[in-house]
Structure 1
Amino acid sequence: MFPKKPSPKPRGVPLDDLEAALAPTTLKATRKGDALIVVNDNLTTRVEVEAPDNPDAGDAVISAIVTIKTQLPSQLAALTGKPGFANMINRMATLGAVTEESGQFYIGSRLTVYEGENAWDVQFGLILFTIIAAADTMLGAMRRTFSSEPPRKSEPSSWTEQDFRFAQEQLSRICVCTPGGLSLTAEFGLRSGELSAAVGDRHTALWQMMADQPHPEMGSGLFCLLNMPQTFEDENKLSSVLAELNRMEMKGHDLPPHFGAWCVGGRQNNPAYVAFLPNALHSSRGIALNMSIWAMNRAQIADAMLRTL
């Protein structure tokens, strides 16, 4: 009896197209059931399609959960287990977070897919570049930091003032939002009636997108930063909270796409979510606006979790 061939598109997720897109690269991709296994030198990335724990998402139905996990080499994993080390690495994140589960460390990302959703123009590129670059760019940035190497030279960012004006026009309907050349700043109210810290509101999350802040390893692109208002004077407590937030992002629930990392924020004692999109993803129309909507939803979910602490 011949072994059953893997479905080219398990639960509608085009793993076959991802495999084909990786074929011209130096990465080696193979299928194993509903997973795509990608080997890059000493790193192995597993892209897995699973059924949701609960498909009911209110007015939508979840059809699949896609997780992208790159196991860290054992020596680096041992360092990552030291207090504060994972937080430091995650500040250099691009499209994935160093995450710990049951004593194992990996760089993880997740996508929740909904029935009838037509978003592969954005989602496919995010998954592809996560496979190609999320682990390498984070580890490369860490190497540059430790060895005092200069940042990688790169061309200017593909994001322009027009991109930020478009995002501002859409976001200004639902929140306080200000463009500023190659950047955008918005505030997301986390309590009823609260809009902006400028008028004394204390429960708002600060969202920033910047095209003039290159990544030390990936180069130019779009830097995204979500600062939460909660603060923790105990450094160990903050590290524990950040680890739990990154674990939560990998769960099979009704959550915004997770292509970034929770880390220490701008106040040095608050949680923040960072992400960095390479220039190649600029061609995904409206991705900056998508990142903003996801950040707004992420802030609400994280706030609900942080309120319980």
Structure 2
Amino acid sequence: MFFKKPLSSPRGVPLGDLEAALKPTTLKASRDGDTLIVKHERLVTRVSVSAPENPIADGAKIAALVTIKTELPTEFRDFVNKPGLLSLINRMATVGAVTEENGRFFVGSRLTVYEGEDAWNVQFGLMLYSVIAGADTVIGATRKMFFREPPRAAEPSSWTEQDFEFAHSYLSRVSVCTLGGLGLTAEFGLRKGEVSAVAGHHNTALWEMKADQPHPEMGSGLLCLLNMPHEIASKEKLDHIIGELNKLEMLGNDLPPHFGAWCSGKKDNNPAYVSFLPNALHSANGIALNMSAWAMFRAQIADAMLLTMGVR
């Protein structure tokens, strides 16, 4: 019987390169058609490439959807299956969200790939770290939080003031944007004519990037946080909405890359989206600016999603 060798880059997604990048590690990778299966010590990650349901989005053509899922072990799944805990744990997300699907829990990320985009210099590293550490960092950070284990020793962040100045040079053209040491803050208007909370506007999303707040499990890097202005009085409703937003991110067609998690925000009654990039991703030129552009897009989409959920 003749067996056709699977393509190393289904729909233009470099699964073969991803598999090769994992060879020096202790992880074991194998192919099942358009899915890369990666076995950790106790976990299994699946990187699946599929065709989009609707390939046309605002004049652009979507080439592929990539989902990265690591199913959580039974004991962790039983632990997170409690009201309010999921959002709290997702506050410590790095490049993936703990998400529920049909009673099962996984750490998930997603990438929408457009034809002619050629952004693998940024996207590939995010995919690789989602596979290697997306689940382990969440599990490790959760253990540190609940069992009071000391955080990982952190060296200085690879992100410098020059990185934030570069991002500011672009963001300041489209938003109210300020610099401060190893950080940047921008406001994204969600309604016509609303640009800043300082001006008394209530419908702006707050975007922050900080290089001086290490992750308890991953150590130094870049913290990225998007706080939505919507306030939800009911804790149960907020937790439900956050869960739904993370589910929608995994199903997204024309959505910005999902390498992070929805969780409760600074006010404790608002939704927020958090990501944490390790120092190793600093070498991807312009990644902080990419994260900012995706956050601006995400804020607009989340505002529309929240409206459909009855949140204004």
Q: TM-score, normalised by structure 1?
A: 0.99
- 1:80-129 CA-to-partner distances (Å, cap 9, x unmatched) read 21111111110110000011111111000000000001100000000001
The runs of 5 or more residues in structure 1 that have no matched partner are none
Aligned to 1:253: 253
CA–CA distance in structure 1, aligned partners of residues 232 and 140 of structure 2: 30
The structural deviation recorded for 1:46 is 0.2
Q: Work out whether residues 52 and 252 of structure 1, in 8 Å CA contact, stay in contact via their aligned partners in 2.
A: no
CA–CA distance in structure 2, aligned partners of residues 70 and 153 of structure 1: 26
- 1:32-85 CA-to-partner distances (Å, cap 9, x unmatched) read 010000011111000000000100111210000000000011121122211111
1:216 equivalent to 2:216? Answer: yes
Q: Work out whether residues 187 and 204 of structure 1, in 8 Å CA contact, stay in contact via their aligned partners in 2.
A: yes
Q: Output aligned runs, 1:12-31, within 5 Å.
A: 12-31=12-31
Aligned residues: 309
CA–CA distance in structure 2, aligned partners of residues 160 and 12 of structure 1: 33
Q: Work out whether residues 47 and 69 of structure 1, in 8 Å CA contact, stay in contact via their aligned partners in 2.
A: yes
CA–CA distance in structure 2, aligned partners of residues 12 and 248 of structure 1: 24
The structural deviation recorded for 1:217 is 0.4
CA–CA distance in structure 2, aligned partners of residues 63 and 240 of structure 1: 32
3-state SS in 2 of match to 1:291: helix
3-state SS in 1 of match to 2:30: strand
1:168 equivalent to 2:176? Answer: no
Letter in 2 for 1:303: D
Q: Output aligned runs, 1:58-73, within 5 Å.
A: 58-73=58-73
CA–CA distance in structure 2, aligned partners of residues 290 and 82 of structure 1: 34
Q: Output aligned runs, 1:188-227, within 5 Å.
A: 188-227=188-227
Letter in 2 for 1:273: Y
Letter in 2 for 1:259: F
The structural deviation recorded for 1:246 is 0.2
Aligned to 1:108: 108
3-state SS in 2 of match to 1:307: helix
- 1:191-213 CA-to-partner distances (Å, cap 9, x unmatched) read 00100000100000000000000
CA–CA distance in structure 2, aligned partners of residues 256 and 171 of structure 1: 17
The structural deviation recorded for 1:2 is 3.0
3-state SS in 1 of match to 2:205: strand
CA–CA distance in structure 2, aligned partners of residues 252 and 96 of structure 1: 15
CA–CA distance in structure 2, aligned partners of residues 147 and 255 of structure 1: 36
The runs of 5 or more residues in structure 2 that have no matched partner are none
Q: Output aligned runs, 1:145-164, within 5 Å.
A: 145-164=145-164
The structural deviation recorded for 1:294 is 0.2
Aligned to 1:276: 276
The structural deviation recorded for 1:225 is 0.5
CA–CA distance in structure 2, aligned partners of residues 221 and 149 of structure 1: 20
CA–CA distance in structure 1, aligned partners of residues 197 and 154 of structure 2: 36
CA–CA distance in structure 1, aligned partners of residues 287 and 52 of structure 2: 25
CA–CA distance in structure 1, aligned partners of residues 155 and 200 of structure 2: 40
Letter in 1 for 2:30: T
Percent identical: 67
Q: TM-score, normalised by structure 2?
A: 0.98
Q: Work out whether residues 53 and 252 of structure 1, in 8 Å CA contact, stay in contact via their aligned partners in 2.
A: no
